[in-house]
Each structure stands twice: as structure tokens, then as C-alpha cells.
Amino acid sequence: MIMLLITVMVMSIWLAACGTKPAENGAAGENGTATETETQTEAPTERKLTDAMGHEVTIPANPERVIASYLEDHLVTLGVKPVAQWSVANGIQEYLQKDLNGIPGIASDLPFEAMASFSPDLIIMGSESTVEGEKYEQYNKIAPTYVLGDEVNKDSRQALLKIGEILNKSDVAQKALDDYDAKAKEIKEKVSAVTGGTKSAAALWLFNNKFYVVSNNVSSGEVMYNELGLAEPNVVKEASAKATGNWSEISLEKIAEMDADYLFLVNSDKGAGSEALQDAVWQSIPAVKNGNLFEFTRSSSWLYSGVQANLQIMEDIQSSIVK
């Protein structure tokens, strides 16, 4: 009987010890410690996502050779370098070159042979029009091709979040937007302290001796009116309502009617005469006469959209009117 009792006691102690081992190895115990399995990060895997056109796209586990023409602002925000960057005859997106310097350009119409020469493992397109007809199938033969679609692409926030999802960087995208909102709030407070929240502004672009005005919900328009709270002139509202693109042609007479307190001018004609700026009507505009005209070159970010572009625009506005 004594031997039996000793055996039972030994077995009980042994079983109790075994029962505590998982906790010692990281299993959840009374203090809620996570298990080893729970704390491990799962390796990325190949995923299937449906794009704006209904294509089921197989996204590589770790895309390393991405082409996302004219979406490079979002790639830079996510810490991704493409294998080729958007370009046109007169240049590239110069405001991004701190991050994209040395990346070869690819023509904006994305020729098939040029695309194939870069051996991409993922292609991201902004608009449906870029893959109209049989183009999608051609691109998809080169690499899996995902189309954001115009509805997403025209909203820089949604475009960033979607590309973040595609590249398995949703957390990076959201943090970038949170940081952006915090910076916008900070700059808005400084700008409002000067303007009293009542001053109006407009962004103009001079190109080939013609003026264009930005729409109120994209690029520098979004920054001025939505982010920083500058007042929108009625002429800008009218132009935005009829706009078919981000920038709409506008006459000097209409610019004079705006009577904006601040004018921000992207001068692509700088070095080529900028004849329109010598016109008497231009010279008579109050913002021009009062020294509230702020000029930027075409290498600035004012013609573009995205976290990188918008942050630079906000900083330009701050440095212009906050003395």
C-alpha cells in the first residue's frame, strides 16, 4: 500500500510538471502570454485579387520588379522602387528624383516591347483607358497586371491604400496617411493664423503661353481648399464644375475676375519668354500688384498628386505666406 501511494504521488507530480511545460515554452498562461506560434510572422504568400475591370490577378508573394507608371508617388510613399518610371518627351516627375534618381524612364504610352525589356513581375495601371481593347492581354502576358480604375485612381488616398493592399503594405499606407493628416493639420494652423481663414487662393499653370487653373479637388487644389482651408474663388468653382481634367484652360480676363488674395503660378514657360506675364491684364491683377504672386518651376510637385506631391505643395504654401 505504501509503495502504491508513493507511485501515485510520483505520477501526480510528473503529470503536473508536464502540464506546465507549454506555459514555460510561451503558451498562454494566467498572465495571457502569447504562444510562440502566435508571435511568429507569417511569410507573404501569392494572393489573388480582383481589379476594377473584374480581372482576377495573381499577385506574387514578394513583387520585386514593379512598374506602376504615373503612380510612382504612391510607390515612394510605400518605400518601393519601380524598375522603370514614367516619362514624357520633356522630362520625368522631377519632384520624386530624390528617391527615384537613376531609375530608367519608360514612355508614358507604355510600349509593349519596352515593358517586356524590364522583366517586371507585377504591372499596376491607373486607368482603364490604358488597357483598352486587347492591350490588357498583351500586358498580362508580360506580367500579372492590376488596373486600379478611374474611380480609385482619381482619389490619391484611395489609390495609395489600394496599392498598399496589392503590395501587402496596407499598414505602411495607413501610417503614411495618418502622418500626412497630422502634418496638414500643423501647417493649416500656421496658415490660418496668417489668413484668418478668409483669404482666397488659386493655382495657375502657364504652358505654351496659355494659362490653366487647377480643379478644386485634385493636386494643389485639394491641398489649398480641402487640407489648408484657403477660400476658393467662384471662378475656380465654375471651372472645376466643367473640368474634364485636373487643369482647365482659363483666360487672363477670367483670372482677373477671380480677385484671389494669393496666386500660385507654375511657370513652364520660364526661360522661354513667359510673354503672357507681360500682358497689361496680368500686371493689373491685385495679387500680382500686391506681391502675393508665388512662382514655381515645372520641376515642382504642383502639377501632381499623392502624399509626396501634396506634402511639398503644403510646405511651399507655408513658406510663401507664413512669414
pLDDT tens across 139-164, in order?
999 999 999 999 999 999 999 999 99
Same domain, 211 and 246: yes
Same domain, 159 and 188: no
CATH of the domain at 237: 3.40.50.1980
Same domain, 190 and 141: no
CA pseudo-torsion sign 136, 46, 126, 96 = negative
Within a domain: 17: no
Mean pLDDT across the chain:
89
Same domain, 139 and 219: no
| pLDDT tier, 30 (very low <50, low <70, confident <90, very high otherwise) | very low
Same domain, 145 and 216: no
Same domain, 212 and 304: yes
Same domain, 272 and 190: yes
Cα 247 from Cα 235, distance rounded (Å):
13
pLDDT: which is higher, 82 or 28: 82
Backbone angles phi, psi at 255, to 5 degrees: -60, -40
pLDDT at 127: 96
Within a domain: 302: yes
Q: In whole angstroms, how far apart are CA 49 and each of 75, 92, 137?
A: 19, 30, 17
Mean pLDDT along residues 39-59: 86
Mean pLDDT along residues 291-320: 96
pLDDT tens across 215-231, in order?
999 999 999 999 999 99
Within a domain: 16: no
Cα 17 from Cα 13, distance rounded (Å):
6
Within a domain: 155: yes
Domains in the chain: how many in total? Answer: 2
Within a domain: 213: yes
DSSP class per residue in 299-322: TSSTT--SHHHHHHHHHHHHHHH-
Same domain, 198 and 231: yes
**Which of the 8 DSSP states describes residue 277?**
G
Give the residue from 134, 168, 202 where a domain finishes.
168
Grid coordinates of 226? 480641402
Same domain, 86 and 215: no
Same domain, 223 and 160: no
Same domain, 129 and 211: no
% of residues, the chain, pLDDT over 70: 87
Within a domain: 15: no
Within a domain: 159: yes
What is the reported pTM? 0.84
Give the residue from 168, 194, 224 where a domain finishes.
168
Task: State the residue range of the domain holding 236.
Answer: 184-321
Give the residue from 135, 168, 201 where a domain finishes.
168
Within a domain: 230: yes
Cβ neighbours of residue 8 closer than 8 Å, sequence gap 6 or more: none
Same domain, 302 and 210: yes
